[in-house]
Structure 1
């Protein structure tokens, strides 16, 4: 039997702010930003909301 690995990752506040700043200061799509940083779009939208 395999070990259980959590798919939940914790991101630092600095990392989140870097991603949001890059999105707002460029014309990149949310999908492109998410692929670039290997994050889920749901996380990105949550960070925008908070």
Structure 2
């Protein structure tokens, strides 16, 4: 399951950078960070996105 989160994180992170206003990509990126236990990074991203 960690591998899936890591794959999604890379792709969703790229898509979020390319489409910085798309909430669906941002949600996927946050979920992947959460699944990998990268809580501080997820909180930082959320603060910048919102």
TM-score (norm 2): 0.39
- Larger helix percent: 2
Indicate the structure whose relative CO is greater, using CA pairs within 8 Å and at least 6 residues apart: 2
TM-score normalized by structure 1?
A: 0.39
